[in-house]
Structure 1
Amino acid sequence: MTTALAPSRARVLVALGAAGLAVLALSQAGRFGASWSEALAAVRGLSWWWPPVFGAVWVAGLAVHTVLLTAALPGLTRRRALILNVAGNAVANVLPLGGAAGTAVNYGMVRGWGHSSADYVRFAVVSKSCDFVAKLMLPLPAVGGLLAVGGLSPARGGWVLLAVAGAGAAVGVVVVLALLGRASRVLRAVPPRVGGSWAVGVAERTAGLVRRRWVALVVGLGGYLALQGVLLWLCFTAVGLHLPLPTTFATLVALRLLALLAITPAGVGFVEAGTITVLVALRVDPTGALAGLLLYRAFVLLAEVPAGGLTIAWWATTRRRTPR
């Protein structure tokens, strides 16, 4: 009995610890001069037509992202790509370190649609690598843009940030080269008895897919990020904060980088605290920054979780009814 309860107790402790860390991180916003009462009042005072506008941009971003997903998995339809995206994000957003759980849900869906395990591995490698490369390479133009317009001072660490961003971009280039086939040469040294030949096969097929479909991968990811930036800008505008384009772009980059530290569900607490720190460093009003950021994060999370839950329920129901 004790053994059976241990995993449940561990999950409860992890959830409570994550919630405590999120509250602690969010409480740091007040240290920068942000007023929680004013920020929440700005969010509550939105006109009725703002949420439909946010929803339209959000849905458009998901639709564009299916271009990348269908390119990464030949045979995947746009409708199923949309289901994968929403379902995986919903699971990842409700569990601490939920990325693995979201991946498991997507794997079950892909296998249920008749794709092989190797197909899913290639799909996961390509889609996750594209996202990872973007997170590594986008800080360089973001920091460069801020330096160019005076939003970031060279004397206050601007050149250091530019060097760090350049190093990240260099790592991104290495990842791209690996996707284009350089990794298979390294994997050939792995003995066949421990999966070396299988890994080489996946790497070679992955490289062939990237070379054939790189335009769709770039268009799908670039369009999705652009629409996410529009949604972020609209959220700040809705609460009365008008950010310049370089600042909005830098904020989006910071959000995506901080999402890598998703200890709590969807990185709640840490992402907001880190992003507000960036905005304050860029001389943005702390209360306006808090209001716009809370609106953006709340809308995205509240949109993804119910939509993903309904999608998973629909998939599970139709899967049972469909003969194998």
Structure 2
Amino acid sequence: MRIAGGGLVRRWGGRAVGLAITGVGLYIVAPSILSLFGAWPRLADVDPWWFPILVVLEGFSFAALWWLARLALDQHAADQKPPGWGTLATAQLAGNAASKVLPGGAATGSVLQARLLITAGQPAAVVASALTAIGLITTGVLLLLPVLTIPAVLIGPPPARQLELGLLVSLIMAVVIVGLGVAALTWPRFVVLVGRGAGHLIHIVKRSVTAESSAAQLVTQRDRVAAAFEGRWWAAALAAAANRMFDYAALVAALAALDVHVRPSMVLLAYVVAQALAMIPITPGGLGFVDAGLTALLVLIGISPDAALIGTLLYRLASFWLPIPVGLLAWTGWRIHLHITRPSRTDDGQTP
């Protein structure tokens, strides 16, 4: 009885703690969520043609992740059939939706995405390696963005109606990211120098971190990414840059729809912080924390509170809320296909 009780504790204890943390997080951010929901009728004031623009931009951002997964899995597809685009899209959309509605966030979504890919015939070890590499390269791009905005912040504000330059800024940033990404994947010495520089800075606030330990850790992560995308580094860097830049462009478009005048470099900084908040697994997909944080950051960079709230709502509608039903449909379609194509256990038992 004690063993059974201990098994139940081990099985459900962690889940109970996760649900409790999620419940507390949702309670804390409930006012911001209600405030955001209360602004939904204001979306009727936005020109309708902005909505398909946002959907297309987010669609390209998701497609870049499918491309990354294809590159990583194709690398090891010599002995098995490579996954089709439909399989990759279904797995990513379903995993993304799960990360937004279930406790655990991105970790839960990755488990579901891996399950779909493994069920489709991909080796478990290859899938785990590919998803790890995708997470590392996309996170690396996100961490690189604040550094790239420093020159724009120092130069000063550009001419009037500067937000319209945001899409051009995203294109320029993508080119720079691709160049730096390829340099990191093909030139280990470059990674060592960056790691040592970061280590010196981190050592100031955390004495246990040294330049050498930081460089070694960064090189280890670089080697994992390089192995996953070997021979296709240009394509991998381009896909990772496209994933972030199309998502950032969607935020710019959401603000441009409200005729907001603000520097795109400052919007980029707000975007990076908001994406960092989404990684904290207190609430699924950073629900509430991202919304409140992004709204506050947009106000901080000079946008009116009303425009910041509506802009955040418009961006989150395309990047957070719309992918949930799309992912649910993808998962449902996968379950139906699996039920039709996989023989039942009864049939298997009756087979002579």
TM-score (structure 2 length as normaliser): 0.69
Q: CA RMSD in A?
A: 3.4
2:336 aligns with: 317
Choose from 205, 222, 229 the match for 1:210: 229
Q: Deviations over 1:220-267 (max 9, x none)?
A: 111122211221111112233233321232232222222122311211
Give the Å deviation of 1:25: 5.3
Give the Å deviation of 1:306: 0.3
Change (3 A) 1:323 1:12: closer
Whether 2:253 is the aligned partner of 1:229: answer no
Are the equivalent residues in 1 in contact too, given 2:96–2:323 (CA < 8 A)? Answer: yes
The letter for the 2-side match of 1:178 is: T
Q: Deviations over 1:124-145 (max 9, x none)?
A: 2111111221222211112442
1-side partners of 2:255 and 2:41: how far apart?
14
1:55 aligns with: 55
The letter for the 1-side match of 2:29 is: A
Change (3 A) 1:40 1:306: closer
1:90 aligns with: 97
2:106 aligns with: 99
Q: How many aligned residue pairs are there?
A: 281
1:118 aligns with: 125
1:67 aligns with: 67
Are the equivalent residues in 2 in contact too, given 1:233–1:243 (CA < 8 A)? Answer: no
TM-score (structure 1 length as normaliser): 0.74
Q: How does 1:132-143 map to 2 (within 5 A)?
A: 132-143=139-150
Q: Deviations over 1:37-91 (max 9, x none)?
A: 7x55542322333322222222222223322121121123322222222111100
Are the equivalent residues in 1 in contact too, given 2:60–2:246 (CA < 8 A)? Answer: yes
1-side partners of 2:19 and 2:281: how far apart?
17
1-side partners of 2:229 and 2:329: how far apart?
32
Are the equivalent residues in 2 in contact too, given 1:36–1:287 (CA < 8 A)? Answer: no
Are the equivalent residues in 1 in contact too, given 2:102–2:284 (CA < 8 A)? Answer: yes
Q: How does 1:189-268 map to 2 (within 5 A)?
A: 207-268=226-287
The unaligned stretches of length 5 or more in structure 2 are: 75-81, 159-196, 203-210, 344-352
Give the Å deviation of 1:13: 4.1
3-state secondary structure, aligned to 2:230: helix
Whether 2:139 is the aligned partner of 1:146: answer no
1-side partners of 2:89 and 2:261: how far apart?
32
Change (3 A) 1:174 1:79: farther
The unaligned stretches of length 5 or more in structure 1 are: 30-34, 152-162, 182-202
Choose from 194, 199, 219 the match for 1:177: 219
